[in-house]
Structure 1
Amino acid sequence: MLGQRGRSRRRAGPLAGRAVPARARAGTGAESARAVIPDGVYDPPRDPLRILHDDHEIVVVEKPAGLLSVPGKGEHLADCLIARLAVAYPSVLLVHRLDRDTSGVMVFALTPHAQRHLGLQFEKRQVKKTYVARVWGEIAGDSGRVDLPIAVDWPNRPRQKIDHDAGREAITDWQAIRRGEGETRVRLTPQTGRSHQLRVHMLALGHPILGDPFYATGAARDFPRMMLHAESLRLRHPDGGRQVRFHSPVPF
């Protein structure tokens, strides 16, 4: 059974993509903040979720673009990834989040111990994450580092901005994978975990992520989804501390 507990096991399989009320799991996360989305109708995908791995401590899932990680404000934003997971994993606990329009690998805890263990790894920047994005324009150079502080753009919240006075340290390493037809495919490795970090840093380089509803404009925004995918996640397993890596193929 999908919700079975016990010995550690690996599996990739479907989980019915149904919604449950926000109250089912809204209070179980590591973060209390509600999700905020751009103006417009929230119409999340209904496809079954893909479970990359589960065991007695964690569940790793491939989040689809367009689905909130946690509930937003109001019943119309109750459908979210953690709520869907709670149908099969009633003890599921939040560890980190991805933006609504970002797809890819996410890990959730199934015990308070796992939540504390993983949360500490994220806090100490011990979790290694890689993303793949398609960005506007052809980037000069093969690789580089963006080291620009980020702060909330309060008049336009939840947008973020570069702020050299009040911003918090934010560092992103990038590597060009392929260029052509007015765009570049890049691999992004965040060294910090600020809100919208990759999106703001790519904009600061003059190469916004294609389809970004907040930071792309004109033709760069005119895409069916935001072209940002969490490709891999490497961390220490809460049971014994061994290194594990989870990977999700890029869908674009």
Structure 2
Amino acid sequence: MSGTPWISLTTDYGLDDGFVAACHGVIARIAPAARVIDVTHLVPPADVRRGAAVLAQTVPYLPVGVHVAVVDPGVGTARRGIALATPGGLLVGPDNGLLLDAATALGGISAAVELTEPRWLAARVSGTFHGRDVFAPVAARLALGASLVEAGPAVDPGELVRLPAPVVTRDADGFTAEVLTVDRFGNVQLAAPGEVLGALAATVRVGPPGPTPSHPAVHGRTFGDAPHQALVVYVDSADLVAVAVNGGRAVDVLGVRPGDLLRVAG
């Protein structure tokens, strides 16, 4: 990897403990010239789908480099540690579905390996902190230009663990989609691609599938297209359908959380 080596970190470690600093420290000891971008360390604990979404929606805008993601409820079990090569960079983390959407966003997987080479890992690998002892040292070595094939045996990309596909169904009046994420502003991102909004009228209704009452909403381009405290359905910066409240929190109005279903209809 030519030029300044870049490494990004995405985890659910939080900011109350020394976990993030330990990962930074391991990287600095091995690759002191590497520049580290902290994407976030506030992924909800063990929420692999949320981590996968944040990673996939962020990596296309980062410098080409090594992207480490650790949301790893299966740490220390038989789940594999992996590194993936893509046209847009390298990904390092657990084989639990966390990395695959990001790999797609970076052009698809061209090679995959299991992280088994002892010389690339900490001398003593903790059963509960692979971010420090496995993924950070591997990322640092890759950032310095070490070959992926030296990290461990090849893995068939078709055998990698994948998250279940989120629900998205269309009908004549609109669509039903799974809530993918909720951001810190309370905006509700759906798994539906933005193109499904194209045929909807300027006003729609949003709510759970079935007879439960739904809420009126504006089909707009941005938050200000709706009156103050009103719902707006729009295409967000990730080209997915999202629901917001102009001056408020859509998640509170709709009473949903990731994994729930919402129907948007004209």
CA radius of gyration, larger in: 2
Q: TM-score, normalised by structure 2?
A: 0.26
Q: Which has the higher contact order (CA 8 A, sep 6+)?
A: 1
Q: TM-score, normalised by structure 1?
A: 0.27
